[in-house]
Amino acid sequence: MGKQEIRYAAKVSLDKPAAEQACLHNRWHPDVPFTGTIKNGEVVKIECVDWTGGQIGNNDSADDVRDVDLTKVHYLTGPFEIETAEPGDVLLVEIQDVQPFQDQPWGFTGVFAKENGGGFLDEIYPKPAKAIWDFEGIFCSSRHIPGVRFAGLIHPGILGCAPSPEVLATWNKREAELIDACSHMSRDVALPPLTKSVHAGSASEELKAKIGKEGARTIPGRPEHGGNCDIKNLSRGSKVYLPVHVNGAKFSVGDLHFSQGDGEISFCGAIEMAGVITIKFTVMKGGMGQLGMKSPIYIPGPCEPQFGPGRYIYFEGFSVDEHGKQHYMDATVAYRQTSLRVIEYLRRYGYDDYQIYLLLSCAPVQGHVAGIVDIPNACTTMGLPMDIFDFDIAPHVPAKKMDLGSCAYASS
């Protein structure tokens, strides 16, 4: 008698290329082979690599961020067969814990170069930059952004079940249409299927080629299954309800984050890490119909860091861009402005802009849609928790400027 250690459904190696590990894959496709079976009701541990598959080092240069190969990211662990799951069911995923590996207690936040990845503010901040975060228990701090320290709201950036062939076809069609419609834009608006660097677990070469041609890229979250939704609150104790589109669900998970802010604005913006997630899986038969579900829903866990409502400074942004142009009800423009307002504010303590850009990406900032009906201005807000700083950032005047070092930059 006695509780046994929780079973590992998959283990990864940090010493072997992700592309060579059969329990990993980097495309959404119904034909990626199962990497294991999990019982309905079972609790398992699943190991995950970091989202760059180890391309980023614990050092003081952003050269690795500048040079990152973005076709070799988002290696997910799975897909797992969840017994009894069928299309139309809902898979309840209870996240019991997420932990970094004990022997690798650090993670990173990056700003990609505008020409290799970019990010939400890349028009203004085009240079690559990086911050390394050290973990001490539930806390993290960075030598690249002195003066802050906070408890992680640790979570997976990506989780979801595989698309059915029909769902996958829908994705490919609508994203291709967007690419067509936006051919005038100077930037990528979506990522079509790509045969380069495909990894499809234990698939045969033939199957792998097929998956490369058809498989959905992992960057965007998508409404039908969630995927890379990058929701900071899918943390310890949360419950996620996922639509099931194929027999056995084909559940995958990856892209673990020690912490992230709403929006994950610098793109590689969370504190990216390798580690292990503990999940309980439960199949809700016929759940999609009964819950009227088109997209995942979730309930956060009870242990999120709580600062008290009065311990946030909130910044407002509107849909007037940095060139003074009025946009119509554009919450994306508004949120970009909101982010810039925080950067302008934190400068007064001595941070440089890239430090703040990195910080807002990974610290638990609250991004809200405030007003979305008052034409022509959408209004969004960003709440910055004061208690993550070890000095007082309340809006007293005047403030004392400090020497707050520098984040890592690329060599020139």
Total Cβ atoms within 10 A of residue 124: 14
Q: Is 386 exposed, middle or buried (0-12, 13-18, 19+ CB in 10 A)?
A: middle
Kindly state the smallest distance separating residue 81's Cβ from a second copy, in Å.
21
Kindly state the smallest distance separating residue 209's Cβ from a second copy, in Å.
25
Cα Rg, the chain, nearest whole Å: 21
DSSP string, 46-82: EEE--TTSS---SSSB-HHHHT--TTS--PEEEEEEE
**Cβ closer to a second copy: 33 or 220?**
220
Distance CA 120, CA 267 (A): 7
Identify the H or E element spanning 290: helix 287-291
Token code pair at residue 406: 């520098």
**Cβ closer to a second copy: 203 or 271?**
271
**Cβ closer to a second copy: 13 or 58?**
58
Kindly state the smallest distance separating residue 207's Cβ from a second copy, in Å.
26
Kindly state the smallest distance separating residue 205's Cβ from a second copy, in Å.
29
Contact of 98 with 301, CB cutoff 8 Å: no
Contact of 281 with 251, CB cutoff 8 Å: yes
**Cβ closer to a second copy: 31 or 275?**
275
**Cβ closer to a second copy: 212 or 226?**
226
Handedness of CA 359, 361, 364, 370 (dihedral sign): positive
**Cβ closer to a second copy: 37 or 59?**
59
Kindly state the smallest distance separating residue 33's Cβ from a second copy, in Å.
26
Kindly state the smallest distance separating residue 397's Cβ from a second copy, in Å.
4
